[in-house]
Amino acid sequence: MFSGVINLQRILQPTTGEAANIVVPELHNLLKLDPYLDAYQDEIRRRYHVFQKILKQLENEEQGIDNFTLAYKHFGIHVNHQTNEINIKEWAPGAKAMYIRGDFNNWQERQYSFTRDQWGVWRVTIPPLSDGSIAIKHGQAINLLLETANGELVDRICPWSRYVQRAEKATVYRGVFYNPPHDEIYQFKYSQPKKRDRLKIYEAHIGISSSKEEVFTYENFRINIIPRIVKQGYNTIQLMAILEHPYYASFGYQVTSYYAASSRFGTPEELKALIDEAHKYGLTVLLDLVHSHSSKNIVDGINMFDGTAGCFFHGDTRGYHTLWDSRCFNYMEREVMRFLLSNIRYWLEEFKFDGFRFDGVSSMLYHSHGIGHQFSGSYVEYFGLATDTDSFNYLQLANYVCQTFFPESIRIAEEVSGMPTLCRPIAEGGAGFDYRLAMAIPDLWIKLLKEKKDEDWHMGHLTWALLNRRSSEKNIVYAESHDQAIVGDKTIAQWLFNEQIYSHMSVFSERTNTIERGLAFHKMIRLLTYALGGEGWLNFEGNEFGHPEWLDFPRVGNNESYKHARRLFYLSDDENLRYKYLNVWDKAMNDLEEEYKWLSAKNTLIIQQIEAHKIIVFERGERGLMFIFNFHGHNSLSDYRIGCSQSGKYKVVLNSDAKSFDGHDRISNEQIFSTENIMWNDKPFSFQIYTPSRTVFVLALIDDNK
């Protein structure tokens, strides 16, 4: 075993003998896709060489990355089922002594003493009881007891704990010895889906997925929410807040225990059953993985684990995230690398997750963490000294582990700066992600709704913003983020309907101008984003039907209330409320994409964007889909000619003005549009349409062979 910081100076300056063995990235394709990268070839090669050198070191010193990433099977607390001994192994280089205590020994302090090796790894074996049974029983509370360098005894939770809990009325968590009987360990029944493109993601938080004022459970989500997701036409679930986090209101982003599925929702076996149920329906399940930072909690987190400010984190100012009030990992420390890469493998292997959404990638990639950093798009920002290339190399390793041992896995980066190569193959010198989140688009919509009058919305700016992405790197697009649902902010529905969201959403209520506009724009904003903005689509639960309430987790400021820490799904099921129409529209969008597969199309073509008319027309997909948007507040256009690139007959396949979507039925779904050989908008064919104000409708070529 080797422990300690990898020698980057030696990596960056290979010896003469090593130089002949350097594997270089395949830059030809990368430079062809983006010629602006030519000036930064040396930096791309340097990053790739560091990555390759780390792999080589792991091969020589750790028996390879396969063995290295299986550390979760021997670090932490494990039972030898042949002897019933308990073997415990922990890394705490700054500690003077280590012990284990808990319910099993009445919390005696120094009964079981660990021994330390030269790398700061501590071990102890707890023999079975006199009757041959395991000394610690399943479910008993346990903690590590460490003596720090100054002689202080401190309780710590094992960083590799599979289960941690907070006792009733307690303020901190304790480790739990998790060793269920064999017949209680969940056995997976269904195969995982193959890697898919055209992701239609339903982003969900287990705890808030109830209409009641409660913390929902894995089991309830499995039974009640998965069928709803399937019915809506999504093919992927993205689960938030799974890694244990004592502060519920952190939305899961202040993690303390990286190997423990949050106990507030149930047991690890119940989470496995949930994932297996999703696989039964053919759904892909992604985990929101938080490796970008860690909670600064000490007693129930990994901060100050061995009594020092370093250990898992940088020990200086680099180890602190001032905006998030959290700690930042030292990714190039060998044992930190082991801990995090093994964590990736643990969730994919033990729980059968199908991939990850990596949280906070922008924060990782820059020394500034993006705080006050207005990214200009200059390549100097991406390949200069502002970039934290330790983090970039860690992300390469993380993606390498995923694609090597789980080739069907999917990886999405939450990244806002637009760093080139992030979603290019590692072999090209990229980070290896499949997608990045199109994070600027939700901000665009909120800015328009908050600051601009409808007549000031610029159609050209809208289409430019939605199309402004690297053609060689895929994006997951979304119209609004989960952050906008949190108290203090507003969702799109809240901006559109204002206070009338509470008073005028009944089908029997007056259809005011606010309601009229809100219903129209809620449908149009979502479809324009979905159809033009990326290669995958994401919706946060509740937004599909215009959820009327913000999210506010129980806290002192609201008297620990769960009133707003929930999702009111019954609103979309009520035939007397207009939420049902927005919900049906959501399903119709997913169904249409499933039929015509525009997310994987390469041929998006803007036909026209007319400011005076507030018209946007574009084609996307191989089967002649035409999207026609009229954002004008009152101007409906008759005999309006639009160009198209394919001749034939077109039919209406989706229409926001249909009665089924609470529209005015001004467009006949039975109408057929035949092209004429009249050039228009620089296209060889054209036809005339009627486009009502504040509507979108989609046309598709009729296949005469069907």
Q: Which of 333, 388, 414, 544 is catalytic?
A: 414
How remote is the C-alpha of 91 from its chain's centroid?
29
Q: Is 133 helix (H, G, I), strand (E, B) or coil?
A: coil
Distance CA 504, CA 313 (A): 52
Residue 442 has pLDDT above 90, yes or no: yes
Distance CA 403, CA 411 (A): 9
Residue 489 has pLDDT above 90, yes or no: no
Let me know: does 607 contact 642? Beta carbons within 8 Å: yes
Let me know: does 232 contact 587? Beta carbons within 8 Å: yes
Q: The domain that contains 76 carries what CATH number?
A: 2.60.40.10
Torsion of CA 383, 386, 390, 392, to 10 degrees: -50
108-145 tens-digit pLDDT:
999 999 999 999 999 999 999 999 999 999 999 999 99
39-85 tens-digit pLDDT:
999 999 999 999 999 999 999 999 999 999 999 999 999 999 999 99
Tokens 């525009």 found at:
598
pLDDT mean over 656-681:
96
462-484 tens-digit pLDDT:
999 999 998 899 999 999 999 99
Largest CA distance in the chain: 93
Distance CA 218, CA 519 (A): 33
Distance CA 298, CA 302 (A): 6
Q: Note the pLDDT of residue 25.
A: 80
Is 680 contained in some domain? yes
Is 304 contained in some domain? no
Q: Note the pLDDT of residue 394.
A: 98
Distance CA 544, CA 493 (A): 10
The total number of structural domains in the chain stands at 2
Q: Note the pLDDT of residue 488.
A: 80
Is 414 an annotated catalytic residue? yes
For residue 601, what are its two tokens?
């199309």
Phi first, then psi, for residue 313 (nearest 5°) are -125, 165
For residue 677, what are its two tokens?
């050989």
Measured CA to CA in angstroms, residue 432 lies from 33, 190, 191, 560, 680 at distances of 16, 28, 25, 42, 42
Q: Given pLDDT bands bounded at 50, 70 and 90, which one contains residue 705?
A: low
Q: Note the pLDDT of residue 21.
A: 52
Q: Note the pLDDT of residue 1.
A: 37
585-643 tens-digit pLDDT:
999 999 999 999 999 998 899 999 999 999 999 999 888 899 999 999 999 999 999 99
Domain-ending residue, one of 131, 154, 184 = 184
Q: Note the pLDDT of residue 706.
A: 57
Pick the closest to residue 288 from 323, 331, 245, 233 (CA basis): 245
Domain-ending residue, one of 184, 206, 221 = 184
Phi first, then psi, for residue 580 (nearest 5°) are -60, -35
**Residue type at 232 in one-letter notation:** Q
For residue 329, what are its two tokens?
């990992």
Q: Which residues contact 453 (CB under 8 A, 6 or more apart)?
A: none
Q: Is 230 helix (H, G, I), strand (E, B) or coil?
A: helix
Distance CA 72, CA 339 (A): 8
Give the relative orientation of helices 513-532 and 459-467 as an angle to the nearest 10 degrees. Answer: 40
Is 691 contained in some domain? yes
Is 165 contained in some domain? yes
Pairing of strands 685-691, 615-620: unpaired
The continuous run of DSSP H or E covering 587 comes out as helix 579-596
Q: The domain that contains 677 carries what CATH number?
A: 2.60.40.1180
Measured CA to CA in angstroms, residue 223 lies from 170, 209, 218, 229, 566 at distances of 30, 12, 9, 11, 17
Let me know: does 528 contact 589? Beta carbons within 8 Å: no
Measured CA to CA in angstroms, residue 326 lies from 219, 290, 391 at distances of 31, 12, 16
User: Domain limits at 678?
Assistant: 602-701
Mean pLDDT for all residues in the chain: 94
Q: Using CB atoms within 10 A of its CB, is residue 563 exposed (0-12), middle (13-18) or buried (19+)?
A: exposed
User: Which residues sit opposite 32 in a β-bridge?
Assistant: none
Is 500 contained in some domain? no
Phi first, then psi, for residue 265 (nearest 5°) are -100, -10
Distance CA 105, CA 112 (A): 10
For residue 568, what are its two tokens?
């009111």
The continuous run of DSSP H or E covering 606 comes out as strand 605-610
**Helices (H), ranges, 353-439:** 361-365, 379-383, 389-405
Measured CA to CA in angstroms, residue 105 lies from 123, 143, 163, 174, 251 at distances of 18, 11, 19, 15, 36
Residues in the chain: 706
Q: Note the pLDDT of residue 22.
A: 53
For residue 317, what are its two tokens?
């100012």
Is 678 contained in some domain? yes
Q: Using CB atoms within 10 A of its CB, is residue 680 exposed (0-12), middle (13-18) or buried (19+)?
A: middle
Distance CA 535, CA 434 (A): 11
Let me know: does 287 contact 356? Beta carbons within 8 Å: yes
Let me know: does 335 contact 160? Beta carbons within 8 Å: no
Is 268 contained in some domain? no
Let me know: does 326 contact 114? Beta carbons within 8 Å: no
Q: Note the pLDDT of residue 20.
A: 40
Is 676 contained in some domain? yes
Residue 18 has pLDDT above 50, yes or no: no
Distance CA 289, CA 266 (A): 19
Pick the closest to residue 19 from 28, 10, 27 (CA basis): 10
Distance CA 435, CA 413 (A): 6
Q: Which residues contact 374 (CB under 8 A, 6 or more apart)?
A: none
Domain-ending residue, one of 135, 168, 184 = 184
For residue 208, what are its two tokens?
């808030």
Supply the DSSP string of 445-493, one letter for each residue: HHHHHHH--GGG--HHHHHHHHH-S-TTSEEEE-SS-GGGGBBTB--HH
Measured CA to CA in angstroms, residue 93 lies from 125, 320, 596 at distances of 19, 20, 57
503-543 tens-digit pLDDT:
999 999 999 999 999 999 999 999 999 999 999 999 999 99
Predicted structure pTM score:
0.95
